[in-house]
Amino acid sequence: MLMDTDAAEAAPDLEPRVERIGRELVAQMPTARKTPRAAVERRVMGAMVADPELRAAVFRFVDVRPACADPGEVARHLGELLAEADDSPLARRGAALADGALTRRATAKAAALGVGQMAQRFIIGSDARAALPAVEKLWREGVATTIDLLGEATVTEDEAESYAARCEETLLTLHEASKGWPSRELLERDGLGPLPRVNLSVKVSALTPLLRPTAPERGIAGAEPRLRRLLRVARDTGAHLHVDMESFDTREAITELTLKLLSEEEFASGPSAGIVLQAYLTESPQHLDRLLDWARTHRRAYPFTIRLVKGAYWDHETVEAIQHGWEPPVFQDRRACDRNFEELTRRLIDAQPGGVVRAAIASHNLRSIAHAAAYADARGLDVELQVLRGLGDETQAALLAAGRRVRAYCPIGDLVAGMAYLVRRLLENTSNDSFLRAQAEGVDLTTLLEKP
């Protein structure tokens, strides 16, 4: 395995390449969308960036949202919370929505329309069947997808069963539909072998109500039969199944369960499967050692896909550690996190020859993406790049135009789930340390592409 310094030596012209690819990608990005909906979205993002009180109100909304029974209640809570925030235009609109002068039904309709319209750009459909036209359109354009079924953390066995059943149905529905899709060579094969057309991302916390840090073995036992069922359906339909990573206190259980099942003889011939590595965890390099060791000693018919992300629970991990007086498991310095992301990117790309591991680099940060593409090019190796639908659309278009393989992570869910998802993504991307925020604020390209 190449150490970081060796890896940098292996690609001595890396920085000029990163700069060139970064600039080329920006040049390929579609110019700012000018539709009325895009204008509303920009205003909402702008208001959230400029207004910490508004962001705090939206945070509280995420907390109360699971208690809301329907879109009407969601809208009422959102309106009330926004009304508590300061006098920003969005807050005034929220206050109007919560105003008793409007009937509850009218309030619900107005809010559901506004937030729902925005949510539609982030979710791809209410269920698998409804999502099919959008998934097929992306495929025809040359963009692969991975589907994620939205839902709150599962608290009962019935909910876990229903989530697993929806996953199963999604695999079967997409499998049938994908037979009619035209061939797209870049999306169906890489240097390591065939790539399934259908790709589903699943959350272990949705497969069992028992995933608790205090008793990981109960969570593993609870999720195991349902994950096994999904692996069988994925194998029988030739799909890829990807296990998402969640908060740090569940990482061990999720990893153990995934590796345990994929080690079994019945899954040696398939399906194609993978897991997520979170670069914001300070001990992620050691975790990657473990994943690579496992992949090398458990050769399967398909390479083990490792999706590298920074991690979506930074605030949660930091606050939780402070509350308990622990050392946070996540980097506290943004640049250190980005540096680690780049080191892990290089290690993952270099681990591919031999066919036991496939690298997928997921980010909306132009520097992180350009670095991954530049390093893969310099080493003459392949790499898949991944973005979230709605947030990464412009990057996706630029990667497509540049002839690179890109996969969009596409959530499916109803309006209520979609609104909660939208709010989370808005909060993440309007935080001080977000690349998308820096980009939206007009930070110059040379700075955005600087080595972390």
Ligand X SMILES: Cc1cc2nc3c(=O)[nH]c(=O)nc-3n(C[C@H](O)[C@H](O)[C@H](O)COP(=O)(O)OP(=O)(O)OC[C@H]3O[C@@H](n4cnc5c(N)ncnc54)[C@H](O)[C@@H]3O)c2cc1C
Residue 398 lies near ligand X (rule: CB under 6 A) = no
* CA 246 distance to own-chain centroid: 11
- C-alpha 282/C-alpha 225 separation (Å) is 32
Fill in the per-residue mask, 43 to 82: x = in contact with ligand X (CB under 6 A), - = not in contact: ----------------------------------------
Least distance from ligand X to the Cβ atom of residue 172, Å: 23
Residue 386 lies near ligand X (rule: CB under 6 A) = yes
- C-alpha 38/C-alpha 43 separation (Å) is 9
Question: Applying CB under 6 A, which of residues 166, 409, 418, 430 lies at the interface with ligand X?
Answer: 409
Q: What is the DSSP letter of 265?
A: G
- C-alpha 359/C-alpha 361 separation (Å) is 6
Question: Applying CB under 6 A, which of residues 362, 374, 378, 426 lies at the interface with ligand X?
Answer: 362
Fill in the per-residue mask, 90 to 129: x = in contact with ligand X (CB under 6 A), - = not in contact: ----------------------------------------
Burial annotation 63-83 (CB, 10 A radius, 16+ → b, else e)? eebeebeebbbbbbbbbbbbb
Is 314 or 421 the residue whose CB approaches ligand X more closely?
314
Nearest to 118 by CA among 45, 29, 64, 201: 45
- C-alpha 295/C-alpha 263 separation (Å) is 9
Is 244 or 394 the residue whose CB approaches ligand X more closely?
244
Residue 314 lies near ligand X (rule: CB under 6 A) = yes
Residue 334 lies near ligand X (rule: CB under 6 A) = yes
- Would the CA dihedral through 95, 98, 100, 101 be positive or negative? positive
Segment contacting ligand X (CB under 6 A): 1-9, 126-134, 230-238, 332-340? Answer: 332-340
- How many of the chain's residues bind ligand X (CB under 6 A)? 29
- C-alpha 160/C-alpha 155 separation (Å) is 8
Least distance from ligand X to the Cβ atom of residue 101, Å: 40
Residue 373 lies near ligand X (rule: CB under 6 A) = no
Segment contacting ligand X (CB under 6 A): 43-51, 71-79, 321-329, 430-438? Answer: 430-438
- C-alpha 446/C-alpha 452 separation (Å) is 12
Nearest-10 crossing angle of helices 71-84, 104-122: 90
Segment contacting ligand X (CB under 6 A): 210-218, 297-305, 382-390, 412-420? Answer: 382-390
Is 237 or 429 the residue whose CB approaches ligand X more closely?
429
Nearest to 155 by CA among 67, 261, 243, 64: 67
Is 63 or 433 the residue whose CB approaches ligand X more closely?
433
Residue 393 lies near ligand X (rule: CB under 6 A) = no
Question: Applying CB under 6 A, which of residues 13, 152, 236, 333 lies at the interface with ligand X?
Answer: 333
Least distance from ligand X to the Cβ atom of residue 363, Å: 3
List Cβ<8 Å contacts ≥24 apart for 3-10: 4/343, 4/346, 4/347, 7/343, 7/346, 7/347, 7/350, 7/375, 8/346, 10/350, 10/378, 10/379
12 CB contacts (<8 Å, ≥6 apart)? none
Fill in the per-residue mask, 245 to 284: x = in contact with ligand X (CB under 6 A), - = not in contact: x------------------------------x-x-x----
What are phi and psi for residue 352, nearest 5 degrees? -70, -45
- C-alpha 347/C-alpha 364 separation (Å) is 20
Question: Applying CB under 6 A, which of residues 6, 293, 433, 450 lies at the interface with ligand X?
Answer: 433
Least distance from ligand X to the Cβ atom of residue 325, Å: 20
Is 172 or 400 the residue whose CB approaches ligand X more closely?
400
Residue 232 lies near ligand X (rule: CB under 6 A) = no
Q: Per the omega criterion (within 30 degrees of 0), is the bond before 209 cis?
A: no
Residue 7 lies near ligand X (rule: CB under 6 A) = no
Residue 310 lies near ligand X (rule: CB under 6 A) = yes
Is there a contact between 262 and 298 (Cβ–Cβ < 8 Å)? yes
Is 112 or 150 the residue whose CB approaches ligand X more closely?
150
Is 7 or 337 the residue whose CB approaches ligand X more closely?
337
Residue 450 lies near ligand X (rule: CB under 6 A) = no
Residue 163: CB atoms within 10 Å:
21
Is there a contact between 376 and 361 (Cβ–Cβ < 8 Å)? no
Residue 388 lies near ligand X (rule: CB under 6 A) = yes
315 token code pair? 């605030």
Is 107 or 199 the residue whose CB approaches ligand X more closely?
199
Residues that bind ligand X (CB under 6 A): 244-245, 276, 278, 280, 309-314, 331-334, 337, 362-365, 368, 386-388, 409, 428, 433-435
